[in-house]
Amino acid sequence: MHTSPLDQPGTGDAGGMNVYIVESARRLADLGVEVEIFTRATARDLPPVAELAPGVLVRHVAAGPYEEMDRAELPAQLCAFLSEVLRTEAMYDPGRYDVIHSHYWLSGQVGWLAKERWGVPLVHTMHTMAKVKNLLLAAGDKPEPQARVVGEEQVVDIADRLVANTADEARELIDLYGAAEERVAVVNPGVDLDVFRPGSQAAARHRLGLPLGAHVLLFVGRIQPLKAPDVLLRAASRLLIEEPALRERLVVACVGGPSGNGLARPSMLTELAAELGIADVVRLVPPAPQQELADWYRAATVTVVPSYNESFGLVALESQACGTPVAAAAVGGLRTAVRDGVSGLLLDGHDPAEWAQALRRFVTAPHWRDQLARGARGHAAAFGWQATASRLVEVYTAALAHLHNTPVAVNL
């Protein structure tokens, strides 16, 4: 409800969840599963229905003003959104939809009522959870409101199946939300291994206008406190204080746009770079389409993912698929997306001094970095969207079988 799969990931509310929905929908269609995605219309001139891929339709639902809305304002549009979803289904013969898969708690609320009206199972993926986020807040970040906590608890109680990105997330659903263990299924997200694949670092740097001999520290994601891009800038500043000679070759690239609480200070990184005295090495880049993003990964010395929480961490997986190791915070799904010491490094905490020490190693130990790069390629190769879609079909089939009390049979 709060973000369209057609939006460019990396800005506004568009991020890993958008990628997840687009890629899993495409692969589900490849398996013969027709997919219709309902999302809130944010512009008057959007077509009512758009084809995302063969077998995948996006339906733009009128709910509230035709503009981006803060997520805190969206609960007031739940009734309007639900009404349009139900009206669309009513235009067809009964039984058009077999399963509802809702993403994020707002959509889960809509899925809850549609499930009861249509008599079909509800499968829900949280993507992020208020209780988890509130345990791991960045400095100055606002806790998630109690209304969201209650809304999530309601969806957990009503959903026939809950899809967790990792075993850690499954345990959080069970321990923090009281989810029944038998209703929780672990389905790892994937990566598009055709787009995100190894390539020439020199060619990628040439296309992006980066010096061939640079040490490139890369951040990809939405610019907001939760994603902690400031940790990278502070670590780079400390690195330059300790190794002044690196300044001539260092590039700190941040690819993404303001989002969430970051919208209150859209120039946050520019101001912080100036304050730290590193504006000359910092390069701020707007969100990039996948092909260009793959070049950024290939061009990087290391991709830095210092988030305070990640349900999975698709950026880490995309980087590794391109052969670039990752320095990531040891939180949430990043503990699955990155294999510590094999495909990258996992760091406890967000102390810039510790991050600077880790980044120095990537810059000054090329043989060790190359070893991680080989491990990164191997680790990422095990995560493909085809496997994600196949596992989702199993979850859908089990939910249907349980609802209708029939034996499970999966034919792909």
Annotated binding site: 2, 8-9, 13-18, 71, 104, 128, 148, 222, 227, 297-298, 300, 310, 318, 324
Question: Are 319 and 326 in contact, with CB atoms under 8 Å apart?
Answer: yes
Q: Which of 227, 254, 238 is nearest to 331 (CA)?
A: 227
Query: Which residues carry a binding-site annotation for UDP-N-acetyl-alpha-D-glucosamine?
Result: 8-9, 16, 222, 227, 310, 318
Work out the angle between the directed axes of helices 167-177 and 146-158 (0-180°, nearest 10).
100
Question: Are 313 and 338 in contact, with CB atoms under 8 Å apart?
Answer: yes
Query: Which residues carry a binding-site annotation for 1D-myo-inositol 3-phosphate?
Result: 2, 13-18, 71, 104, 128, 148
Query: Which residues carry a binding-site annotation for Mg(2+)?
Result: 297-298, 300, 324
